[in-house]
Structure 1
Amino acid sequence: MKRHDQCSICSKETDDGIHLLKLYICHACEKEMIDTPADNPRYDYFVKQMKKAHRSMIPS
């Protein structure tokens, strides 16, 4: 049975992604992040999601 992890970007549970440090990113989000130019408004969304996910790993 495959393990399903929750994507740190879109919150969907999948089994086809990557683990980046302690973050899990699904294949669809990984591809979209790579293909999104920095001047696209969607790029800012990805940056915010990565910051939010990174902050959640830091103990209070």
Structure 2
Amino acid sequence: MEDHTEHVCIICGLTKTEGITILSQFICEDCESEMVHTDAGDAKYNYFIHQMRQISMQTHV
């Protein structure tokens, strides 16, 4: 059974239904795909790293 609940993506801030949840933080499938295909030398790579750090920071609260 699929979950069609809407969640706010921690990367793009948009509300979507499809994606992954890591430690209660949602990443939409569009951002997940873009992150996987982004080269470490790309300027967007650092943005993704910054946004992903929110996950680890939330677990330490």
- What TM-score results when the alignment is normalised by the length of structure 1? 0.83
* Segments of 4+ moved more than 2 angstroms: none
Partner residue in 1 for 2:14: 12
Count of paired positions: 59
Structure 2 counterparts to residues 1-60 of structure 1, below 5 A: 2-59=4-61
Percent of residue pairs identical: 32
Q: CA RMSD in A?
A: 1.7
Unaligned runs of 5+ in 1: none
Q: Distance in 2 between matches of 1:56 and 1:11?
A: 16
